[in-house]
């Protein structure tokens, strides 16, 4: 059994997405496969090429 390749995230989609908490723009972290809201200090995961925009699923960003 081989691992299926992870679908690519459509970078054009980021232009349409905003943080569900602050309604501000998100930045894309390709290395961690996350969309980052600096204003909310949250990182939303991208799983299987699909952004998971649920606050309960987001990682809190610490300094």
Give the 3-state DSSP-derived string for the chain, with helices as H, strands as E and coil as C.
CCCCCCCCCCHHHHHCCECCCCCCECEEECCCCEEEECCCCEEEEEECCEECCCHHHCEECCC
CATH of 11-60, one of 3.40.50.20, 1.20.1540.10, 3.30.365.10, 2.20.25.10: 2.20.25.10
- 26 within 8 A of 61, measured Cβ to Cβ: no
Per-domain boundaries in the chain: 11-60
Is residue 28 within 8 Å of 11, Cβ to Cβ? Answer: yes
The answer to pTM > 0.75 is yes
pLDDT in tens, the chain (63 residues): 555 555 666 767 777 899 999 999 999 999 999 999 999 999 999 999 899 999 999 999 997
């Amino acid at each position: 059994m081989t691992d299926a390749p992870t679908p690519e995230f459509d970078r054009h989609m980021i232009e349409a997405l905003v943080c569900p908490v602050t309604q501000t723009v998100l930045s894309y972290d390709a290395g961690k496969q996350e969309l980052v809201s600096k204003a909310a200090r949250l990182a939303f995961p991208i799983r299987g090429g699909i952004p998971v925009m649920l606050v309960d699923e987001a990682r809190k960003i610490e300094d």
